[in-house]
Structure 1
Amino acid sequence: MYLCCTILSLLQLFSCADNAGKCYYVDASNGDDSNSGISASQAWKSLERVKQITLMPGEKLLLKRGETFGGELEITGKGTFAQPVIVDAYGEGNKPCVVGNDVSLYAVRIFNSDYVTLRNLEIVNTGKQPLPKRTGLKIECRDYGVSRNITVDSLTIRDVNGSLVKELGGGSGIYVVNGGDSIASRFDSLVIENCHILRCTRNAMIWSGYYDRKNWYPSKHTVVRNNLIEEVPGDGIVPIGCDSTLIEYNVMRDCPDVLPMTEAAAGIWPWSCDNTLIWFNEVSGHKAPWDAQGFDCDYNSTNTTIQYNYSHDNYGGMILICDSGERGYSVGNKNSIVSYNISIGDGIRPKETRSGMFSPAIHVAGPVENTLVERNIVHLNAKSSEKADRSMIVSDMWGGYADATIFRENVFYAAEPSRFDMTQSTNNLFSGNWYLGKYTGRPSDETARTSNEVYRQKVLSVDETGYKGLYTLMDERRVGGKTVRFVNKEAIEAFFAEMK
């Protein structure tokens, strides 16, 4: 590690000397704000001094490793494709740590910027009391137009004590905000990757943008990948007002059971978004009092695809597909695809919430339209409480009922008697599914299968709980220094081909 840091430091110094743009250095122990700031020996001391500059094309701002910087780091950068602005660490040791003030709404903010990369920092924002809307990193464009190519890479964001209550403003590790009174503003090609978000309340990362379809100006081409989220009780990754978002290889796990009983939350889900692709993610241990699914395809969204994800041991089920039925600003929930996902041991809610211990493996709520649920493996294990909800699928009302939902070639396994309850939803089509277990309310399925030798041999005979057998359909990978599992596309597709 020492050798790697030394080499990195030398490369940074060489790059600064060779680059047409300036390099600014900040050293909390040995710096002085009266210095020039343009060499390590002439470093500034405080984040207040940084607020006086706008970083221009090719310029760098470097914070010294092993140092703690109190206050708020404000970043405004005007980079270009050829000469981006870089905010990074220099020297040896741990990541430089930015610690917000007691009442800081953010510890670091990127504001009205283009072509800026922020990386290799630790961010902490813990006040004496929880503060609504408190975040670690705020990425904001307002009355600006299009903020292009912001990249956030390899940050550690921890111990942010926002509010646990969504209606009060919540709180987050990363908060992405776009809007404006005079100039409509949005992000294009925002990337958040390789970050570790730890002990942040209420959420890990969430957006705030244009959600009303009468005033629609979505951020585009967002990428969220390879992030580790731990000990976050609320929502994990929630793009809002976005188009063409890619969410991949993220992990959310070990969520503490601390939310008030009024609160609903889930792992990864879009709201007011079009063309969202959520694949190759893992969500486990979600314990929200309401919902608590691994994944959610939410309303005012079209063309959402959720596939090749792994959901396990959540209080809620694998997936929520919902639409509130409100059409004043919403286009509803249309053309969603949920396919090739694996759910093991979900729906284990141990206590009553707003509607008993409700936790179906698949919950369809409200007037969603034209949804395809295809080739998923839902493995429900035995539950400890007699009152536990053992439902496989519930499709119920939320200002209306679902229409034209297709359930095709899914594996539904239940260790205990389970049920289907489609209530008043219309034009449901069940085709070629495997119903392994005992069910009440099983829907009409002309090509239904009630046994499968491949599943028995490769899954149930290996381990009735499903983990060991279904692990053969997954790859191990390192995210945030931890070993995690993601669904292997070729393996699960081959498995379904063999099932036939």
Structure 2
Amino acid sequence: MVKYWGALALSACLYAVGAPSAAFATTYYFNSVKGDDRFSGTSDAQSWKSLSRIKDIALQPGDQLLLAAGSAWKEPLTISKSGKANAPITVAATGIGPRPRIDVGGISPHGVAVVNAEYVTISGLEVTNDASTPAQRYGVLISAQDRGVTRGIRVTDMYVHDVRGTNARKDNGGIVFSATGQKLATRFRDLIIERNIVWRVDRSGIAGISDRVTFSNWFPSEEVVIRDNYVEDVGGDGIVPRGTDGTLIEHNIVRYAGSRAPGYSAGIWQWSTDNSLIQLNEAAYTRTRYDGQGFDSDFNSRRTTLLYNYSHDNAGGFLLICSPKRNEKDNLGNRGTIARHNVSRNDGTRIFQLSGNVSDALVEKNVVHVGKGMDVQMVVATNWDGWARDVRFADNIFKVAGTARYGSEIGRNGPDYLIQAGFTPVEYIRFKDNSYLGRHVDLPDDGAKLPVIPYVEQNADWAVPVFNPAKPDDFPGFLARHRAWMLTMLQRELQSTVELKASRRISIFEARR
């Protein structure tokens, strides 16, 4: 049982500071059990019964919609009116009891949506959208179309589960933010998706969509933060923004991505972005080997940084850096990826994969554990309309209780690559001061002449905190325990203090031209 104070505290705060836009704000109440649509809706005793009453309200900045704990609706909740910076429109839960539940059962594409509106905060609800057959569906949809810059949207503390989307397309699933506009270039600014549970959804857990990602149409969303979310049992990708600049993806937990979707999936990744910062995340148990890595830095992107992440038990491996052939229309390749201070343990198949037109990549100061009996490709270069160029591996520690191999692609066998020794197709790949413990086959130059150092796995605390999404009330406690465990583990493995970074956007001097 949970008591919800968020919306009331926000209201008190706004009034306390004397925000003029909120001075005449109204609070509307909804209760599916005790409400009546003939009531005024402006007090708890006069609650409305149906969410459809929202369309009859001329919502103003500062207005609040409070949904009674223990209520349940089989209709969508849609917000299409905007608040202001100091007076957002707020949707929240109130009272003591289970979260208000919106269970649309496939009768609507979305359970909750913010459509062509800004300065909106939604929190504290349970959302499902299940049906007998797959279709393009969303738990929570944030959609802006032909409206320029859309600001100040918050989706926090939501419990989104059992969304029967289609695995035939990536742009549906748990929480999706979509900025499109053929008439007017559209993007988000100051969008935060934080402390949400996303469980058993198809195809994507948390995904961003944009149609302004080419050289001539580059209009990325800015100040996007995806933080402290738990994503489990996803048909395809766990977390994947598109068309952003300076996005922060921090302390998310993605487990069991790639569970049902055909084609290629990964745990946490981005594409068509600049300056994405992916730090302090856990990606684990990705099931597919078509990609199937915990993390991926994808194409048409620049300066992606992966920092202080933990990847483990992913079927496809730890990190993919990839791009098809560059062109003058919609792909500048993959430039300037940095993977530093990450830990990989018992990832399968391919630990580091360089696929296609990757350039100026740096992989340094990471620690990799390969378990007893495992046989993996530690570093593999593969062809995707070309090969990587200018890649450095430096000061990494490879601890191998099984077998690790190195080389470049000579063929495919389904999701797996056949490799040969050496990296001849790759232009200017360098290995410097890496440590190779255990059994390594076809070592790079910096390890080829060194004596073999036997390695046996050492006892250590790898018991990462677990969470049962069927019991969401413990989520705040889990997040605190998980962050503390991550910081302790990283400091132990890296033998250095964890120093997180702040995200930043590309400067005017670095703009795409």
Q: TM-score range by the shorter chain?
A: 0.7 to 0.9
- Is 1:197 the counterpart of 2:183 in the alignment? no
- Give the counterpart of 1:87 among 65, 85, 91: 91
- Give the counterpart of 1:416 among 393, 399, 402: 402
Alignment partners' CA distance in 2, 1:163 and 1:92: 35
Q: Note the C-alpha offset of 1:433.
A: 0.2
Alignment partners' CA distance in 2, 1:14 and 1:108: 25
- Is 1:161 the counterpart of 2:164 in the alignment? yes
Q: Which residue of 2 aligns with 1:292?
A: 292
Q: Which residue of 2 aligns with 1:362?
A: 352
Q: Note the C-alpha offset of 1:258.
A: 3.0
Structure with the largest fraction of strand = 2
Q: CA deviation digits over 1:207-236, x for unaligned, max 9?
A: 110222221110001001100111123101
> Once superposed, what is the RMSD of the aligned Cα atoms?
2.8
SS of match in other structure, 1:399: coil
- Give the counterpart of 1:462 among 437, 458, 462: 458
CA 1:123 to 1:289, structure 2 compared with 1: closer, same or farther past 3 Å? same
Checking the alignment, whether the CA contact within 8 Å between 1:203 and 1:235 is kept in structure 2 is yes
Q: Which residue of 1 aligns with 2:41?
A: 37
CA 1:470 to 1:445, structure 2 compared with 1: closer, same or farther past 3 Å? farther
Matched ranges for 1:147-296 at <5 A? 147-166=150-169, 171-209=172-210, 210-255=212-257, 257-260=259-262, 263-296=263-296
CA 1:191 to 1:24, structure 2 compared with 1: closer, same or farther past 3 Å? same
Gaps in structure 1 of 5+ consecutive residues: 348-358
Q: Which residue of 1 aligns with 2:440?
A: 439
SS of match in other structure, 2:52: helix
CA 1:241 to 1:10, structure 2 compared with 1: closer, same or farther past 3 Å? closer
Q: CA deviation digits over 1:453-491, x for unaligned, max 9?
A: 9xx7xxx4633xxxx2677xx999985553534245655
Task: State the AA in 1 paired with 2:95.
Answer: G
Q: CA deviation digits over 1:124-149, x for unaligned, max 9?
A: 10122111x21100001111111111
Alignment partners' CA distance in 2, 1:29 and 1:252: 36
SS of match in other structure, 1:234: coil
CA 1:211 to 1:383, structure 2 compared with 1: closer, same or farther past 3 Å? farther
- Give the counterpart of 2:389 among 394, 403, 415: 403
Q: CA deviation digits over 1:89-142, x for unaligned, max 9?
A: 1121111011124342111111122221110011110122111x2110000111
CA 1:450 to 1:138, structure 2 compared with 1: closer, same or farther past 3 Å? farther
Alignment partners' CA distance in 1, 2:268 and 2:146: 29
SS of match in other structure, 1:51: helix
Number of matched pairs = 464
Checking the alignment, whether the CA contact within 8 Å between 2:442 and 2:448 is kept in structure 1 is no
Task: State the AA in 2 paired with 1:380.
Answer: V
SS of match in other structure, 2:85: coil
CA 1:423 to 1:38, structure 2 compared with 1: closer, same or farther past 3 Å? farther
Checking the alignment, whether the CA contact within 8 Å between 2:271 and 2:301 is kept in structure 1 is yes
Q: CA deviation digits over 1:318-339, x for unaligned, max 9?
A: 1000011142311110011001
Q: Note the C-alpha offset of 1:35.
A: 2.2
Alignment partners' CA distance in 1, 2:28 and 2:290: 48
CA 1:329 to 1:74, structure 2 compared with 1: closer, same or farther past 3 Å? same
CA 1:408 to 1:17, structure 2 compared with 1: closer, same or farther past 3 Å? closer
Alignment partners' CA distance in 2, 1:126 and 1:220: 32
> More displaced, 83-92 or 221-230?
83-92
Checking the alignment, whether the CA contact within 8 Å between 1:118 and 1:151 is kept in structure 2 is yes
Checking the alignment, whether the CA contact within 8 Å between 2:41 and 2:48 is kept in structure 1 is yes
Q: Note the C-alpha offset of 1:448.
A: 7.8
Alignment partners' CA distance in 2, 1:242 and 1:126: 30
Alignment partners' CA distance in 1, 2:144 and 2:392: 40
Q: Which residue of 2 aligns with 1:391?
A: 377
Q: Which residue of 1 aligns with 2:72?
A: 68
Alignment partners' CA distance in 2, 1:296 and 1:232: 16
Alignment partners' CA distance in 1, 2:457 and 2:342: 21
Q: Which residue of 2 aligns with 1:353?
A: none
Q: Which residue of 2 aligns with 1:351?
A: none
- Is 1:143 the counterpart of 2:133 in the alignment? no
Gaps in structure 2 of 5+ consecutive residues: 17-21, 408-422, 468-473, 499-513
Alignment partners' CA distance in 2, 1:449 and 1:496: 29
Alignment partners' CA distance in 1, 2:46 and 2:121: 24
Task: State the AA in 1 paired with 2:140.
Answer: L
- Is 1:373 the counterpart of 2:363 in the alignment? yes
SS of match in other structure, 1:92: strand
Q: Note the C-alpha offset of 1:58.
A: 1.1
> More displaced, 269-278 or 477-486?
477-486
Task: State the AA in 2 paired with 1:158.
Answer: H
Checking the alignment, whether the CA contact within 8 Å between 2:438 and 2:453 is kept in structure 1 is no
- Is 1:130 the counterpart of 2:141 in the alignment? no
Checking the alignment, whether the CA contact within 8 Å between 1:434 and 1:451 is kept in structure 2 is no
> More displaced, 370-379 or 476-485?
476-485
Alignment partners' CA distance in 1, 2:10 and 2:95: 9
SS of match in other structure, 2:236: coil
SS of match in other structure, 1:25: strand
Q: CA deviation digits over 1:417-470, x for unaligned, max 9?
A: 3211035111011000001122222111289866779xx7xxx4633xxxx267
Checking the alignment, whether the CA contact within 8 Å between 2:237 and 2:258 is kept in structure 1 is no
CA 1:41 to 1:423, structure 2 compared with 1: closer, same or farther past 3 Å? farther
Checking the alignment, whether the CA contact within 8 Å between 1:323 and 1:367 is kept in structure 2 is yes
CA 1:448 to 1:231, structure 2 compared with 1: closer, same or farther past 3 Å? farther
